[in-house]
Structure 1
Amino acid sequence: MLFLTSRLDHTDEEVFKIKQLRQLVEKCDELCVGTDDTMLTKFLHYTRWDTIKAYQAIHAYYEFKRRHPTWLARHSIEHYRPLFYGTHCRFVMPHVDRDGRVLVIFKTVDGFQRFPDYLQSLVEMDDLIFESLLLLPRVQEKGITVICDLQGTTRNFLRQFSPAFMKVVNEKNGVLPFSQRIVHIIQRGFLMHVTSTLFMPFMNKEFKERIFTHDGRHLSKLREMVGYESLPAEYGGPASNVLDTDLIFNHLLQNADYLEKLQKYEKL
């Protein structure tokens, strides 16, 4: 099952490192965060089970949250329902990619007229999605593949992408505890090219190496890298692979209590 959140067992060494990390976090007066296995293992996978680096990664993540509190979700899951169903711009596919990573689709859809604070809402929505995916052992172990479809980019978006905004995007990319993220950017036309050109200078070298661009008219490379069976129909996958907002939003609802609890975690 794609959204299976339980893991049957850990090795003896992994159990030891979970306990070790839990002790470090519980003894730290600065961190007001949970110490359940799911919380700890996402940082341990991220650091290849190096306990000290995982502890440092937790500090880095919540230091980012302390300095940029508006860059994380701040409301109940239901608060975001109109955004999900009013834009249909965020999806997860029911089948993993050819390397076993969960496949996420981000589309640029101009919702600025309907949602006055649209860019802020997108930032919070993406935070929810990432946190919800990090609940999954499959994602903790293998990471995710993201397809960013920029073909709906308008000038309304371009006005928002200031250097200051892009620097924070890059900073958050640096603290998100994904063991691996592969990003495929689909672009076509001048505006889409400008968008990706704006993004790239602010990405760190390691992250840039995992970003691949595709012309929206020629997606054979995308099919080869992601896998035909996993792709949405509109990107050359099977006709049965339709983009369905229900799939990701129902996952958020099923984990609403935990996700809303995460919003209260902080570094003092």
Structure 2
Amino acid sequence: MLFLRSTVEHTDEQLFKIKQLRQLVEKSDELQVGTDDIFLTKFLYYTNWDTFKAYQAIHAYYDFKLRHPTWVAQHPVQYYAKIFFATQCRFVMPHTDKNGRVLVIFKTVDAFQEFPDYLQHLVEMDDLIFESMLMLPRVQRNGITVICDLQGTTRNFLRQFSPMFMKIVNEKNTVLPFSQRIVHIIQRGFLMHVTSSLFLPFMNKDFKDRIFTHDGRHLNKLREMVGVECLPAEYGGPATNVLDTNLIFNHLSQSADYLEQLQQYKKR
């Protein structure tokens, strides 16, 4: 099952490293975070099971949160229900891509008139999605694939993309503890190219090397890289692969208590 969170069998060496990292976190006077296995292993997979790098990565993540508290989710999952279903812009596919990575779809949908704080909502919704994905052992091991479909971009979006906004996007990308994250950008037309030209210059080289752009009219490269069987029907996948907001929102709801707990974690 895609969202399976059953007990993971770790090697003796991995168990030792989990214990070692737990001791480091517990001894910290600055970190006020959990020490459960799922929390610790996401940073250990991220750093290829280097305990001290994982400890540094935890500090880096919560340094970011300390500097930018509005760039992480601040409310229970149910708070975002209306905007999830009204915009239909965030999805997860029921099958992994051909490399075993969970596939997430982000679409640009202009809802600024209905939701005045729409961009802030998107920032928080995406944080919830990423944190919920990082709870999954398969994501901790294999990472995720994100398809950003920018074909719905409007001038309302472009007005939001200030240099400062994009710098913070890049800063958060550098601290999110995904062992691997591949991003495919689908764009078409003048506004779409403007969007990616605003976005890409602020990405660090390591992350930029994992970003691939596709013309919305020609998606053969996307199908080849991701695999046809997992793609939505509108991108050339099977007709049964219909984008369904219920799948991602049900996953978030099932993890709601833990996600709300994560929001309390911080560094002082």
TM over 0.5: yes
* Counterpart position of 2:224: 224
* Counterpart position of 2:259: 259
Count residues in correspondence.
268
* Counterpart position of 1:144: 144
User: Contact 2:151 / 2:186 at 8 angstroms: preserved in 1?
Assistant: yes
Q: Distance in 2 between matches of 1:6 and 1:212?
A: 33
Q: Distance in 2 between matches of 1:134 and 1:58?
A: 14
Matches for 1:8-19 after TM superposition, within 5 Å: 8-19=8-19
Q: Distance in 2 between matches of 1:80 and 1:226?
A: 29
* Counterpart position of 2:28: 28
1:25-75 CA distances to partner (integer Å, 9 max, x unpaired)?
A: 000010000000000000000000000000000000000000000000000
1:121-165 CA distances to partner (integer Å, 9 max, x unpaired)?
A: 000000000000000000000000000000000000000000000
User: Contact 2:63 / 2:267 at 8 angstroms: preserved in 1?
Assistant: yes
Aligned residue identity for 1:209? D
* Counterpart position of 1:190: 190
TM-score (norm 1): 1.00
Q: Distance in 2 between matches of 1:167 and 1:213?
A: 20
Q: CA deviation at 1:219?
A: 0.4
Aligned residue identity for 1:46? Y
Structure 1 residue runs without a partner (length 5+)? none
Q: CA deviation at 1:9?
A: 1.1
* Counterpart position of 1:163: 163
Structure 2 residue runs without a partner (length 5+)? none
Matches for 1:99-178 after TM superposition, within 5 Å: 99-178=99-178
Q: Distance in 2 between matches of 1:51 and 1:131?
A: 21
Q: Distance in 1 between matches of 2:185 and 2:75?
A: 29
TM-score (norm 2): 1.00
SS in 2 for 1:130: helix
RMSD: 0.4
Q: Distance in 1 between matches of 2:28 and 2:22?
A: 10
User: Contact 2:46 / 2:140 at 8 angstroms: preserved in 1?
Assistant: yes
Question: Aligned residues: percent identity?
Answer: 79
SS in 2 for 1:74: coil
Q: CA deviation at 1:7?
A: 3.0
Q: Distance in 1 between matches of 2:111 and 2:11?
A: 47
Aligned residue identity for 1:166? M
Q: Distance in 2 between matches of 1:8 and 1:157?
A: 41
User: Contact 1:21 / 1:51 at 8 angstroms: preserved in 2?
Assistant: yes
* Counterpart position of 1:57: 57
Aligned residue identity for 1:249? F
Moved over 4 A (4+): none
* Counterpart position of 2:206: 206
SS in 2 for 1:183: strand
